[in-house]
């Protein structure tokens, strides 16, 4: 007796079973939101990514809601902490720590007076951070001569920062390069300044430096000439000469003397005082034997010039002032100092900008770049 086959035979051996249902994938953006939130470096980004991830999870049926929510929450807390830090000075401490950590080789924050460096593209304009410190004896893009901090408060604006940096760096140059005659004519003043972003984090430092006046110009050899590189006689001579330089730079900015005769008479008084003090210092110092007579001759010229500037202070009209002004300038021409400079071993070729009209020189509108 045959047994009929069952009405619903079992499937043949080896037939594949249907795969179990697959688990929904985890949303990658949700993971990114959590990671960025935990790191606290980019809390705003973590918050935005968390919200995007929640939207995608609902639409696609993906997993990761917990990651997205946690990332958004942690990022929100991070934003609050950043806001508190910026208002309480915590960010300033962070920035100071960053700058200290960055003060090693290869960063603009590593620069101190007397150091020379190259920039990646050879330019001292725009924004930079990475630099390569190089020996000053060889070719280089810049040489640092001073640094100072700006006052605390709201960011004053790029133009204001640049003006302050320009004025202050120009004034500080003589503390590093006392002898302007020894600075080549193709050298200009530049500066590193804070950006609006770095200011929020406490950056206030301005770094002053020398660089080539034209794009592509490089410096060779250090421009430093101060108490660390000059002898006592040279320093005394240059400090006396600085008195007259400061008085010359205080000349009124009007185009013509007749536009401000009272202001020019006051300036003539400053010139008289500077010349009197310069002569007193030159006579009061004991000079090397070979420099005694050249310095004495210079002091006599300064005395004659002082008399002319004294007369200019009493001028009642512009023509009279011009008469004493012209004679006074002739007596303090750079050529009058050449013999004394040669005897003291100082640079004896007057800078080109001093060979023109009275008071001619750099206008202080030096360029700068930001870090």
Separation CA 171–CA 245 (nearest Å): 11
pLDDT at 195 over 80: yes
Average predicted confidence (pLDDT) for the chain: 78
Separation CA 247–CA 256 (nearest Å): 18
Lookup result for tokens 């200009």: 188
- The confidence band for 1, taking pLDDT boundaries of 50, 70 and 90, is very low
Select, from the ranges 46-50, 105-109, 188-192, 274-278, the one with the highest average predicted confidence (pLDDT).
Answer: 274-278
Q: Which two tokens stand for residue 312?
A: 């200019």
Is there a contact between 118 and 141 (Cβ–Cβ < 8 Å)?
Answer: yes
- What angle is formed at CA 356 by the lines to CA 354 and CA 358, rounded to 5 degrees? 80
Comparing C-alpha atoms, which of 206, 212, 312, 292 is closest to residue 252?
312
Q: Which two tokens stand for residue 67?
A: 């990651």
Separation CA 189–CA 268 (nearest Å): 29
Backbone angles phi, psi at 168, to 5 degrees: -70, -45
All structural domains of the chain with their residue ranges:
28-88, 232-332
Quick check: pTM over 0.75?
no
Count of C-beta atoms within a 10 Å radius of residue 21: 6
Give the burial string for 72-102 (b: 16+ CB within 10 Å, else e).
bbbbbebbeebeeeeeeeebbeebeebbeee
pLDDT at 132 over 50: yes
Give the model's pLDDT for residue 21.
41
Comparing C-alpha atoms, which of 207, 229, 230, 228 is closest to residue 370?
207
- The confidence band for 351, taking pLDDT boundaries of 50, 70 and 90, is confident
Count of C-beta atoms within a 10 Å radius of residue 110: 16
pLDDT at 16 over 60: no
HEC assignment per residue over 73-128? HHHHHHHHHHHHHHHHCHHHHHHHHHHHHCCCCCEHHHCCCCCEEECCCCCCCEEC
C-alpha dihedral, 253 to 259 to 264 to 266, nearest 10°:
-100
pLDDT tens digit sequence for 259-281: 999 999 999 999 999 999 999 99
Q: Which residues 6+ apart lie within 8 Å of 288 measured at CB? A: 233, 343, 344
């Amino acid at each position: 007796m045959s047994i009929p086959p069952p009405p619903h035979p079992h499937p043949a051996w080896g037939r594949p079973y249907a795969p179990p249902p697959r688990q929904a994938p985890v949303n990658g953006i949700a993971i990114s939101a959590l990671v960025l939130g935990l790191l606290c470096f980019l809390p705003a980004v973590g918050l935005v990514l968390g919200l995007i991830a929640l939207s995608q999870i609902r639409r696609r049926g993906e997993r990761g809601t917990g990651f997205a929510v946690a990332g958004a929450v942690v990022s929100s807390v991070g934003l609050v902490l950043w806001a508190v830090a910026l208002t309480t000075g915590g960010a300033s401490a962070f920035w100071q720590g960053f700058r200290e950590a960055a003060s090693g080789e290869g960063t603009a924050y590593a620069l101190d007076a007397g150091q020379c460096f190259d920039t990646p593209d050879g330019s001292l304009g725009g924004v930079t951070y990475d630099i390569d410190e190089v020996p000053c004896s060889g070719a280089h893009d810049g040489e640092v001569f001073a640094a100072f901090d700006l006052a605390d408060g709201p960011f004053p604006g790029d133009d204001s920062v640049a003006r302050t940096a320009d004025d202050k760096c120009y004034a500080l140059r003589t503390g590093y390069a006392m002898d302007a005659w020894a600075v080549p004519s193709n050298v200009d003043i530049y500066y590193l300044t804070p950006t609006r972003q770095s200011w929020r984090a406490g950056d206030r430092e301005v770094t002053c430096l020398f660089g080539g006046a034209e794009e592509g110009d490089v410096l060779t050899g250090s421009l430093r000439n101060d108490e660390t590189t000059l002898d006592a006689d040279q320093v005394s001579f240059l400090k006396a000469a600085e008195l007259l330089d400061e008085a010359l730079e205080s000349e009124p900015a009007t185009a013509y003397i007749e536009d401000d005769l009272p202001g020019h008479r006051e300036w003539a008084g400053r010139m008289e005082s500077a010349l009197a003090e310069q002569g007193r210092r030159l006579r009061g110092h004991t000079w090397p034997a070979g420099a005694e007579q050249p310095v004495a001759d210079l002091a006599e010229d300064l005395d004659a010039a002082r008399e002319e500037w004294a007369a200019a202070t009493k001028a009642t009209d512009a023509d009279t002032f011009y008469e004493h002004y012209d004679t006074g300038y002739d007596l303090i021409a750079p050529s009058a100092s050449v013999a004394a400079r040669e005897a003291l071993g100082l640079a004896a070729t007057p800078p080109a900008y001093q060979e023109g009209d009275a008071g001619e020189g750099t206008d202080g509108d030096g360029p700068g770049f930001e870090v």
